Structure formats: structure tokens, C-alpha cells
Amino acid sequence: MRPTLFDFAGGDDALLRLARAHHARCLADPELSHPFSHAGQHPEHVERLAAYWAEVLGGPQSYSGSCGNQTDLVAMHAGNGDMSDLSRRFVECFVAAAGDAGLPDDQEFRSALRAYMEWAVQEFNGHPDDATTVPAGLTTPRWGWEGLRR
């Protein structure tokens, strides 16, 4: 049986390395740095991001069990207008951060990660005008080798 993307990546430690590397890349990007350096960011943002990605990629339900739900997370990212360029930059930072974090250099794995993040930025930027359009009851997505698991 094929391992989950979470297990293939190397588990919680690998996802924490990925979140740290991604955050560092976003802070270094002249356009992405502003949203990643504002004072309102949760003090455990990187750890929470790692827990979220771990859960999405087939790991334990740590994020949804203790940090929040998908509806609140999408709503938090709503109302920012057109984010097309920032989304592209975010994906590129994520893809590069996988290398920085020492995740497996396997083409199929890296393609699955990119596909997830391209899908995710569309989901998170799907409510550009305000948070009132975000549906209640959204569940944390699960992403596998073939894409979104329904």
C-alpha cells in the first residue's frame, strides 16, 4: 500500500521544516513579506501551518482537533481582493521550500505538493470580497497522490 503524502514527506518533523522554510521564503519575498510579518499573526503561526498541512496531506487531525476549522480558516483569508500575483508567489515559495526543508526529491511527490498548493490558493482566495460568502461547515480537505480526496 502506498504511504500518505504526509508519511512520504517524513511526518510531523518534515512538515514543520516545510512550514519554517516556506515562512522564511515568504518573509524574504518583497510582495509576500507584508502579509507574513503583520502584528496580528498568531504567535504559533508556523507550528499551526505545519499541523494544518500535515492533516491535509494525510497525517493526524491535530489542526482541526485543537486549532480551528476550515470555515474559520477560509474566512480569515477572505476579503483581500484579487490575490493572483501573491498566490503565484506563494505557490513558488512553497515549491522551493520543499527543497529547502529536505523533503523527498521525487517528481511525483513534488507534483502532488504543487497540485495541492495550486488548488489551495484558489480555495483560500475564493472569497475576495468578504468573509460572509464563506460557507459554514467546511471540513479540512485531504489531499493524496491523485489529488483531492472526496
- CATH code (residue 29): 1.10.490.10
Residue 119 lies in a domain: yes
Q: Are strands 142-144 and 147-149 parallel, antiparallel or unpaired?
A: antiparallel
The whole model's pTM is what?
0.90
Residue 145's domain comprises: 8-33+44-149
Q: Is the pLDDT of residue 31 over 90?
A: no
Cell of residue 120, nine digits: 489551495
**In total, how many domains does the chain have?**
1
Q: How confident is the model at residue 123 (pLDDT cuts 50, 70, 90)?
A: confident
Q: Does 51 map to a domain? A: yes
SS3 at position 103:
coil
Residue-level pLDDT at 68 = 82
Instruction: Classify residue 63: in a domain, yes or no.
Output: yes
Residue 38 within a domain: no
Residue 2 within a domain: no
Q: What is the mean pLDDT of residues 21-48?
A: 81
Choice among 28-37, 93-102, 128-137 with the minimum mean pLDDT? 28-37
Q: Which residue, 83, 59, 81, 68, is CA-closest to 9?
A: 59
Q: Per-residue confidence at 87, pLDDT binned at 50, 70, 90?
A: confident
pLDDT computed for residue 43 by the predictor: 66
- Asked if residues 26 and 19 have their Cβ atoms less than 8 Å apart, the reply is no
